[in-house]
Structure 1
Amino acid sequence: MANRLLSPKLLHRLLSSSSFSSSATTITTDSILNLDDAEAIFSSVPTPKLLRSAINLHAAAVEPMVDLGMWAMRSRLTNTAVVREVMLAAVRRTFYEHFCAGEGAAEAGRRVAGLWESGLRGMLNYALEHADDNKSCDRNVQGFVQTVESTNLLPQSSVSFVIVKITAICPLGLLQRVSDLLRWQYRNESFHLPWKLNTLSIFSDSSPFYHTPTKPDPLTPEEESDLYLAHQRLEKICEKCLEANVRLSIDAEDTFVQPAIDYFTYSAAIAHNKDNNPIVYGTIQAYLKDANERLYRAVSSAEKMGVPMGFKLVRGAYLSSERQLAASLGVESPIHNTIDQTHACFNECASFMLEKIANGSGAVVLATHNVESGNMAAAKARELGIEKGNQKLQFAQLYGMANALSYGLRNAGFEVSKYMPFGPVELVMPYLLRRAIENRGLLSTSTLDRVLLRKELKRRLKAAIL
């Protein structure tokens, strides 16, 4: 039926178009994952959706087009109401539809249900970030709570995680102040922080401390009150997750506020992760030079405290802003100098967490678009005897990206989720900009998807004609 939704003539025109040409004509997948069989990988995906995905991914691979779109979205043109509406409409019908799950929880839920039917799960992310005041934070927390509550209406286990950014529920300036104070205490153990809750290890000696060159002032009474309110917002979300039996993953963000984000994450994990069942997961960005050390130290301190800890392991999404900030301060970038170093760090961290799972402790979400990393982790899991369907090991990819790897991992018997941001277009714009940068940079693996999509669409066209 799916092949009849588009005429063979239309499919032939689109597939023979130069926009669908690719220099990558061979796919090498010497591993336990079968990524050569495009028919098996995309068997659950209808032809119209395959075609839309192919068009959007090819458009995102045209760098001048992406550069123009990024310039337009950041320019003063968006201050003009008419121009802004035209631009948002264009974004909505293209990249937004491809990379985002909808404007509200109900629409996102329908996308989750569709994924569930194809053997994948959803990580629901109400894509808000960078709140400036308590009023905005209070409004945002209601959106996160509603997101958690919406999972009760979806098929059981179809949602693996709800995602939260701490910058959406705690004012950004306060997070920076808390990060500065935490850094200074790591340098000077006698420095007293009366408001500090019990937490895990946050820093390593290789962590970038240039954000805090001088001793920061203590929090004012008003700041301490605001910090308490932010903890209460996170506590409310955690309690809702416990009621709904869904895990909470807290995203990593820029390094200038990451210490405070880890502090919120780990203090919440200590309070809610019980009985070898981590509910609150932290995130480690492997493109940071201190990533593996911080992971090892956090896991070690969690084990000493008897706290089961889960982590989402990613490569990282703030490449440009991190390098720009370091350059502006005249210091070395906190990000690995080469992509190969980032790959090696990710694989080392993944191996470490897999061994923890095999020994009966820890949990990890391996969020990767890199086929080699996926292959290595899958092989390591098999070698360690981690059984299929083990909830302590999950893989994840962004919604709209690396679908071949997602379905390949699913076919190999692993739990796989798609990271699904949703929300009004104008609020999701920061996320879309990061995806545009990533999709045109070294971290992109959309070439594999483009090749396999083209291969499967050609097969379906041939089958429709015959």
Structure 2
Amino acid sequence: MATRVVPQKIIKNLRFKTTTKPLNSSHPSATAAVASLLEREQPSPPQPSHQQPSYLDLNDGERLFSAVPTSTLIRSSAVLHATAIGPVVDVGIWAMQSKLLQTGILKDAVMAVTKRTFYEHFCAGEDAITAGKSIRSVNEAGLRGMLVFGVEDAHENDGCDRNLKGFLHTVDVSKSLPPSSVSFVIVKITAICPMALLERISDLLRWQQKDPSFNLPWKQDSLPIFSESSPLYQTTKKPEPLTPQEESDFQLANQRLQQLCKKCVEANMPILVDAEHTTVQPAIDYFTYSSAIMHNKDDNPIVFGTIQTYLKDAKERLFLATKAAEKIGIPMGFKLVRGAYMSTESTLAESFGSKSPIHDTIKDTHNCFNDCSSYLLEKFANGKGSVVLATHNIESGKLAAAKAYEIGIGKVNHKLEFAQLCGMSDALSFGLSKAGFRVSKYMPFGPVEMVMPYLLRRAEENRGLLAASGFDRQLIRRELGRRLKAAIF
């Protein structure tokens, strides 16, 4: 397969030196040139929520949950109410992590309780076949599934090879399901490339951003990974080149990803690369963008990257990547999320004596997500590319739906997909689906013990969101009351 490359002059033309006017007001080092270009392409702001089209109804519980069995609603209500209580989440995390409960009868008891509660609510099943049944179920309810082999980080090649087999099997399972019921196969680069190697590659890429003359002989053509406001504090000194063993491991990791990408191309199944913390995200972006250049053709992006909009440089990086892809005719796919490593990022930055790369306020993060959403919707409306808006925020969902409706790419269009985690923000998922949008649920699967790190991470990451799940809890409680009355009377 011929590889389309990004000429170096394009990359150079996307670098700007002045810093008089920031693109993002929360980060004063953003460049004026990027800001000026973005202002010229800036979409008109979406309408306030009180002017949203009436077709997006999030208040009619009977209509929203019409396809959900009562038993599932009861479990959802119990789990959401439990996870809204901080001490309950703390005890649950302690129980799953405690070494005292990792053997014998106590371990079996913890696993059994976890499986019947949090696992069944937030996961799709213990294997790909069971996950396929779960996807059929959500598909019957009008939603699609993102099939997620629920492994976390790998640290050696044997583990990476095992994980690759799981991802490849995931593609096979998705092909066996009803057409379009699976929207994406999800891959974590940290599961098919050793973490230490990703950290080394990220260090080398950061140093090349500081010193463009720094040569990386293994580097293939990619899209811009950094902007001039991107924090580089994690690489304080010039890193050593990759050792022969590291270069060999790097080639193996790339071969794993390309094998998976080629299988997805053959199945016409988009593959979405999850984002991670900034220690390894540059390497992940490199793998993603170089693969997108190789495999994304015509108006059909197969390889999708992820932008975490709680990062101050997110808007600039997104703009630079889309402009570079546009210049060489590559259709890009992006998933937008707010982000999932807030405490980790802030703590790490503080250890280096630097400011946090995270927006200073949640309002700034919301604004960044909404601005990036609006920008991509307008850019892809009449051009190449697709966007996945992964949000649990009702206001962001309403704004994006209104924008999509306004520019005519909303109703079941391959250029736009909304997404929420399995077991979370179901009212928003069903509301958007019933309004005619494509909506996916992020559905991890795997044995309970294998998926346990995922559940722990989600519990830590989404404390605030779980505590603020009152909208769903209220709607579910109201619908259960209505069904009880209907059964009695």
Do both share a fold (TM > 0.5)?
yes
Q: Which is worse superposed, 391-400 or 314-323?
A: 314-323
Which residue of 2 is the match for residue 133 of structure 1?
156
CA distance in 2, matches of 1:394, 1:275: 19
Shift of residue 430, structure 1, vs aligned partner? 2.3
CA distance in 1, matches of 2:242, 2:280: 16
Which residue of 1 is the match for residue 390 of structure 2?
367
Letter in 1 for 2:291: A
Tell me, what secondary structure is at the counterpart of 2:175?
helix
CA distance in 2, matches of 1:414, 1:332: 39
Which residue of 1 is the match for residue 100 of structure 2?
77
Of residues 239, 255, 259, the one that matches 1:216 is: 239
The answer as to 2:194 corresponding to 1:194 is no
Asked if 1 retains the 8 angstrom alpha-carbon contact of 2:85 and 2:467, the reply is no
Q: How does 1:94-113 map to 2 (within 5 A)?
A: 94-113=117-136
Uncovered stretches (5+) of structure 2, i.e. residues with no partner: 1-48
Which residue of 2 is the match for residue 316 of structure 1?
339
Asked if 2 retains the 8 angstrom alpha-carbon contact of 1:58 and 1:450, the reply is yes
CA distance in 1, matches of 2:435, 2:467: 23
Of residues 437, 440, 446, the one that matches 2:460 is: 437
Asked if 1 retains the 8 angstrom alpha-carbon contact of 2:292 and 2:301, the reply is yes
Q: 1:38 to 1:310 in 2, by over 3 A?
A: same
Provide, for residues 67-107 of structure 1, a one-character-per-residue CA deviation record: whole Å limited to 9, x for no partner.
11112323332444443332222211110110000110000
Q: How does 1:303-342 map to 2 (within 5 A)?
A: 303-342=326-365
How many matched pairs? 439
Q: Percent identity?
A: 63
CA distance in 2, matches of 1:79, 1:436: 19
The answer as to 2:52 corresponding to 1:31 is yes
Asked if 1 retains the 8 angstrom alpha-carbon contact of 2:155 and 2:194, the reply is yes
Letter in 1 for 2:298: D
Q: Which is worse superposed, 145-154 or 69-78?
A: 69-78
Of residues 335, 344, 347, the one that matches 2:367 is: 344
Of residues 302, 313, 328, the one that matches 1:279 is: 302
Asked if 2 retains the 8 angstrom alpha-carbon contact of 1:31 and 1:375, the reply is yes
Asked if 1 retains the 8 angstrom alpha-carbon contact of 2:84 and 2:468, the reply is no
Letter in 2 for 1:149: D
Tell me, what secondary structure is at the counterpart of 1:313?
strand
Asked if 1 retains the 8 angstrom alpha-carbon contact of 2:422 and 2:442, the reply is yes
Of residues 150, 155, 170, the one that matches 2:173 is: 150
Provide, for residues 315-358 of structure 1, a one-character-per-residue CA deviation record: whole Å limited to 9, x for no partner.
11122222222233332221112111111110011001000121
Shift of residue 29, structure 1, vs aligned partner? 7.2
Q: How does 1:394-409 map to 2 (within 5 A)?
A: 394-409=417-432
CA distance in 2, matches of 1:443, 1:119: 24
Asked if 2 retains the 8 angstrom alpha-carbon contact of 1:167 and 1:175, the reply is yes
Tell me, what secondary structure is at the counterpart of 2:305?
strand
Tell me, what secondary structure is at the counterpart of 1:441?
helix
The answer as to 2:271 corresponding to 1:248 is yes
Of residues 184, 197, 206, the one that matches 1:174 is: 197
Shift of residue 306, structure 1, vs aligned partner? 1.1
Q: Which is worse superposed, 238-247 or 81-90?
A: 81-90
CA distance in 1, matches of 2:183, 2:51: 29
Q: How does 1:218-233 map to 2 (within 5 A)?
A: 218-233=241-256
Tell me, what secondary structure is at the counterpart of 1:284?
strand
Quote the RMSD (CA, aligned, Å).
1.4
Uncovered stretches (5+) of structure 1, i.e. residues with no partner: 1-27
Which residue of 1 is the match for residue 12 of structure 2?
none
Asked if 2 retains the 8 angstrom alpha-carbon contact of 1:399 and 1:420, the reply is yes
Shift of residue 443, structure 1, vs aligned partner? 7.7
Shift of residue 437, structure 1, vs aligned partner? 2.5
